Amino acid sequence: MFGKKQRRHTVVETLIGPNSKVNGDLHFDGGCHVDGTVRGNVTADSDTESALSISDIGSVDGGVTVPYVVLNGIVKGDVFASRRVELGPTARVTGNVYYNLIEMAIGAEINGKLVHQPEGQVPLLEQTNKIDEAAATSE
What residue spans define the domains of the chain?
12-138
Phi, psi (deg, nearest 5) at residue 73: -105, -145
Q: 13 Cβ partners below 8 Å, 6+ apart?
A: 28, 29, 30, 31, 32
Quick one: pLDDT at residue 46? 85
Q: HSE-up of 57 (CA within 13 Å, CB side)? A: 8
> What is the rounded CA–CA span in Å between residue 51 and residue 76?
18
> Would you say the pTM of this structure is higher than 0.75?
yes
Contacts with 51 (C-beta within 8 Å, 6 or more apart), sequence order: 8, 10, 30, 31, 32, 66, 67, 68, 69, 70
- What pLDDT digit, counting tens, does each position of 11-56 carry? 888 999 999 999 999 999 999 999 999 999 999 988 889 999 999 9
How many other CB atoms sit within 10 Å of the CB of residue 92? 18
In the chain, the N- to C-terminal Cα span, in Å, equals: 43
- Tens-place pLDDT, residues 92-118: 999 999 999 999 999 999 999 999 988
